[in-house]
Amino acid sequence: MTGLPMRLIAALWDVDADALRGERLHAALAALGATRLQVNVCDDDARGGLAMNHFEQPIEAVVAVTGGDSADVLAALGGVAGTVQAWRTALRAPLDPDLPVGERVDALANVAFLRRPDDLAYDEWRRRWLDDHTPVAIDTQATFGYYQNIVAEPLTDDPTGVVAIVEELFPMEAISDVHAFYGSGGDRDELNRRITAMLASVSRIGAEKNIDVVPTSRYDYPLS
């Protein structure tokens, strides 16, 4: 993870989504030394997107904070959410388009929480994920943004063992159109080929089970 930018990622429950996007929290985080805030919320715009749950309760929002002391940032987030679970992560961005700030990104933003199978060593799991799976995921889906967050350490209790958090940006049509999700252009044979390749790759890292997938709307805020 040497040389990769670090940031705090938190999953939130019992959350005030308006407060997440509000000036009061942003000013508080900026005063703590945070320089950037990303907010992903499960809202009506993302409703209907693919969702999978492994946590006891479905995640309501995900935030990523760059800069600031982790304990202070967690305390600030605790003011807008009843439950916060967080990790310190290293960011890779194989697909990183220019995105608007301060407004909703025109995309379905799927956030996935990955866990390593017990029978697969971490180094091999990570190699399969980063080296083998990444190009398959990009080539077989209609993603135009792809972000990989490698967990360096949990910052709160994590009984479920999250080792990575991935965000993929899809066109909004992907919520209801499987061809738009996979980028298969309406070709049924091509759709089946892409699904088969994706599922085979996913199974090699154990992400066909014990995974959370959270369909969200994304907002980005510079804080300094």
Q: Can you tell me the distance from the alpha carbon of 98 to that of 148, in angstroms, rounded to the nearest whole number?
A: 17
112 falls within a domain = yes
pLDDT interval class at 1 (50, 70, 90): low
Q: How confident is the model at residue 110 (pLDDT cuts 50, 70, 90)?
A: very high
Q: Domain residues for 36?
A: 6-222
182 found inside a domain: yes
The two structure tokens encoding residue 156: 């709160």
pLDDT value, residue 118? 94
CATH assignment at residue 18: 3.30.70.100
- DSSP H stretches of helix in 128-187: 134-140, 178-182
Model-level pTM greater than 0.85? yes
With respect to residue 165, please indicate whether it lies within any of the assigned structural domains. yes
Q: How far apart are the first and last CA of the chain?
A: 25
Residue 18 lies in a domain: yes
Amino acid letter for position 143: T
- Cβ 146 vs Cβ 139: under 8 Å: no
In a 3-state reduction of DSSP, which class is residue 211? coil
127-144 average pLDDT score: 98
Q: pLDDT for 166-212, tens place per residue?
A: 999 999 999 999 999 999 999 999 999 999 999 999 999 999 999 99
Condensed to tens digits (0 to 9), the pLDDT of residues 27-38 reads: 999 999 999 999
Residue 140 lies in a domain: yes
List the structure tokens of 109: 């933003």
Residue 1 lies in a domain: no
| C-alpha–C-alpha distance, residues 10 and 18, integer Å | 17
pLDDT averaged over every residue in the chain? 97
Phi first, then psi, for residue 207 (nearest 5°) are -90, 10
pLDDT at 2 over 90: no
Number of domains in the chain: 1
Q: pLDDT class for 159, splitting at 50, 70, 90?
A: confident
Flag whether 16 is in a domain: yes
What pLDDT digit, counting tens, does each position of 38-84 carry? Answer: 999 999 999 999 899 999 999 999 999 999 999 999 999 999 999 99
- What is the rounded CA–CA span in Å between residue 92 and residue 147? 6
Question: What's the CA dihedral at 131, 160, 26, 36 to 10 degrees?
Answer: -10
Tell me which residue of 194, 146, 138 sits closest to 166, measured CA to CA.
146
* HEC letters along 106-126: CCEEEEEEEECCCCCCHHHHH
177's tokens: 């159109």
Please determine, for residue 220, whether its predicted confidence score (pLDDT) is greater than 70. Answer: yes
